[in-house]
Structure 1
């Protein structure tokens, strides 16, 4: 099983525990694969990390644990199914 590194996207005003997005890098052979957890509630390919490295993204990111990433994803999934009561 390949190693996976998770990152929290920290747009202005966002903290690692409540990030603007979650990205992961799957360290596969022959090259790593980057994926973002999307509004479709699934992992999809992304160029975020490469574009950031090239200087094309203003959003910062920090490495987080797999458990922290899963906690954020679980919260997003709950929010998606819970009705918005205006709070």
Structure 2
């Protein structure tokens, strides 16, 4: 078994699916799973957001998206962090 990745757009009252607040992913692998958020440091880092949402934390909506949408969101975030943005 390889890895299976599911992406989620983080949507809150100030954002939308098209322009989400952020992005998280769940990576399932032979040893279990790990959840990661694309951070302000422009890298994937551990997060408890998915775990919290599954247990009732409704601060943000986590909307499932495909890999292509995830790539566009990551590139937009990188662009916003660019000094030229």
TM-score normalized by the length of structure 1:
0.87
- Deviation by residue 1:43-74 (Cα, 9 ceiling, x = unmatched): 00001011111113421111001110110111
TM-score normalized by the length of structure 2:
0.89
Superposition misfits of 4+ residues, deviation over 6 angstroms:
none
Rounded to whole Å, the distance in 1 between the matches of 2:36 and 2:76 is 19
**Which has the larger Rg?**
1
1:48–1:57 CA contact under 8 A, matched in 2: no
SS at match of 1:67: helix
SS at match of 2:75: helix
Rounded to whole Å, the distance in 1 between the matches of 2:4 and 2:24 is 14
Partner of 2:3: 2
Rounded to whole Å, the distance in 2 between the matches of 1:2 and 1:83 is 35
* Unaligned residue ranges in structure 1 (runs of 5+): none
Equivalenced residues, count = 84
